[in-house]
Structure 1
Amino acid sequence: MKVGALIEPRAPGAAEFAVAAERLGVASLWVPEVWGYDALTGLAFLAAKTTDIGLGTFVVQLGSRSPALLATSALSLQELSGGRFTLGLGTSGPGVMEGWHGVRFRRPVQTTRETVEIIRIISRGERLEHSGEIYPLPLPDGDGSVLRPLVRPAHVPVYNAAMGPQNLRLTGEVADGWLGNAFIPEASEVFLGPLREGAELAGRTLADLDLVAPVAVEFADSREEGDAAARRHAEGYAFTIGAMGVRSGGQERSDPGRYSGRNFYSDAFSRLGYGDEVRTVTELWRAGRREEARRAVPLDLGRLTNLVGTDDAIADRIGRYRDVGITTLLAKLDGDYDAQLTALERLIAIVADQ
């Protein structure tokens, strides 16, 4: 099992942290992208400061760039980093895509499939012809030409951040890895079952994918401190459950040709067995009762989707992730960089002892 870590490249001390993490044996550094700084620029900076550590996006939002630009940007980073780059991508949601990028949020699974197909074509250095439903290239009613990319062919590993069954099957079928938000080892088949089905469609197994579980990591000196940390992380899900997938003003989308108003995280938590609790949190949040909504999030959502607690408790959780086939733990850390490095060192030691 490998250990990766999230990083904000623009924060003071980030380059020194990256070098120290590489020295500790951290396998990869991952940069998020929401509606702030982009992920690719920061990774180019880290590539120049490090030597061997892997570099990935967690995640770039599909639709924010054309598939061709995404492919050539990924190939640029692959070239500049000496082959250390991994493209982590995801569909995001309508709040970001339509509110920030001005791109209609339609058919996310098909958009993912076609984007990966185009990335593969360009990565092979082939002429770009694609008879897609979302991205027909060249445009059939336009004056565009079939072009060959002006880049050196190279493989770019593509990891997909998928939560719904269809997107999970697609990930198993076409991706090199899976970025598994909200993963709970005790209910692993909710996610791994569809991933396995997709992999089998492509004539492979789950062992052919890097299965990445993003986890907040917080060490505690006692069980009580661990429970308090788990409670904080649980309450952090209230916004995710209550606000994502909803228009400002609280009105869900009803146009079946676009977005249905569903919340991917809430759907996933419901499949994990927390449907009643999710509905309660959603109702409280939309009613403006935010503190009650936070308190209504089940403690288990903070405890079971993260690594929080004493060293022994975290070691037990890591064993459960390992037993179900997770191959990379992606650590999300708080505090200054010295504290983060201390936590990473403890985490790597526990993983090594498993």
Structure 2
Amino acid sequence: MKLGLQLGYWGAQPPTNHRELVAAAEAHGFDSMFTAEAWGSDAYTPLAWWGSETERIRLGTSVIQMSARTPTACAMAALTLDHLSGGRHIVGLGVSGPQVVEGWYGQPFPKPLARTREYIDIMRRVWAREAPVTSEGPHYRLPLTGDGTTGLGKALKPIVHPLRSDIPVFLGAEGPKNIALAAEIADGWLPLFYTPRLADQYNEWLDEGFARPGARNTRETFEICATAHIVVTDDREAVYAAVKPMLALYLGGMGSEDTNFHAEVYRRMGYADIVDEVTALFRSGRKDEAAQIIPDAAVDDSAIIGDEAHVREQIRVWEAAGVTTMLVSPGSAAEIERLAALVR
């Protein structure tokens, strides 16, 4: 089992301790660090900023939103950071949701699976640098022609020769079809709310992707980097109380009332009634009540909270379920050191 540091995205203000956390992760043997984005801070700037202070750790995005960048712009950022880091970059992609894609980026959301396939194919053409990059679309046509264009578009190759012609791509995926797509065309899966309890179900979806003609990886070469909220404590109730408001936001406040992919994950876990109640309370402004009705079991499904013996045992359970890296968000260098010791 490997550990990754999940720095996430910024809140109202930039975090003040990320330099300390990154240095500790590098010093204590963490395999990777990841940044994210929503509709505030971007993922690439902090990743390059803090990544410049590391020498060994892999630098990933978990995740960047496809609609924020054209596939060629994303490929440019990736090949640049891959050069600067000496070949340590991982591109973690996600489609986000219609509220963000259409509301923030002004891009259409439909056909996310087809868009993902086309997007990654274009990025790999850029990195391969075998010929000027073209794409017949329909989502990302290169060169762009037709009404509203000059007709002067030209197929191009990147000026910079990529350090690696095939940079790893991981997919943030929550639904069955998207998870199967990750196994087929990507090098890893970035689940947000992973529960070992449903490992057999995940494996069915992954195996569907691995079995498709031309699949890039097998189970042995595919990475599963699961976000895991790990807290070593003797006061589990206090940690549950701190975690539940965040979980209520994801279950009841993300997306729209009838299109919330995070909520669907918990429905598949068996919490449909709880999701409905949390959503109704959260959207009526009763956010504290929404958090309070979430059962401890719903937190435990995708988190590890308890004393050292419990944490060690559960890490073994996650590893046996197929997780190769646990992405954790410790709050201090001391917590990083403690987690590293537990995994060792």
Shift of 1:151: 2.2
Per the alignment, residue 88 of structure 1 pairs with 92
Amino acid aligned to 1:210: E
Cα RMSD of the aligned pairs, angstroms, is: 1.8
Q: 1:79 aligns with which of 59, 78, 83?
A: 83
Cα distance in 2 between the residues matched to 1:80 and 1:282: 44
TM-score by length of 1: 0.88
Per the alignment, residue 229 of structure 2 pairs with 216
Q: 1:287 aligns with which of 281, 284, 288?
A: 284
Instruction: Give CA-to-partner distance per residue, 1:163-204, whole Å, 9 cap, x none.
Output: 011111110101111101110001123333212211221454
Cα distance in 2 between the residues matched to 1:178 and 1:84: 17
Instruction: Give CA-to-partner distance per residue, 1:3-44, whole Å, 9 cap, x none.
Output: 011237964453343223211111111112112221111121
- Structure 2 gaps of 5+ residues are none
Q: What are the residue-to-residue correspondences of 1:79-158 with 2, within 5 Å?
A: 79-126=83-130, 127-141=132-146, 142=149, 143=151, 144-153=153-162, 154=164, 155-158=166-169
Q: 1:198 aligns with which of 202, 209, 213?
A: 209
- Identical-residue share of aligned pairs (%): 35
Deviates more, 1:193-202 or 1:120-129: 193-202
Instruction: Give CA-to-partner distance per residue, 1:224-271, whole Å, 9 cap, x none.
Output: x1233134323321111112221xxxxx6xxxxxxxx42111111111
**Taking structure 1 as reference, are residues 220 and 230 closer, same or farther at Cα in structure 2, changes over 3 Å only?**
same
Q: Secondary structure at the residue paired with 1:101?
A: coil
Per the alignment, residue 242 of structure 2 pairs with 232
Q: What are the residue-to-residue correspondences of 1:1-354 with 2, within 5 Å?
A: 1-7=1-7, 11-126=15-130, 127-141=132-146, 142=149, 143=151, 144-153=153-162, 154=164, 155-201=166-212, 202-203=214-215, 204-221=217-234, 225-246=235-256, 261-334=258-331, 340-352=332-344
Q: Confirm or deny: 8 A CA contact 2:34 2:62 kept in the other structure.
A: yes
Q: Confirm or deny: 8 A CA contact 2:21 2:336 kept in the other structure.
A: no
Shift of 1:116: 0.8
TM-score by length of 2: 0.91
Per the alignment, residue 257 of structure 1 pairs with none
Q: Secondary structure at the residue paired with 1:131?
A: coil
Shift of 1:284: 2.1
Cα distance in 2 between the residues matched to 1:231 and 1:145: 56
Shift of 1:139: 2.1
Instruction: Give CA-to-partner distance per residue, 1:121-162, whole Å, 9 cap, x none.
Output: 111013211122211222242422211221213221111100
Cα distance in 2 between the residues matched to 1:282 and 1:11: 29
Count of aligned pairs between the two proteins: 331
Shift of 1:57: 0.9
Amino acid aligned to 2:266: F
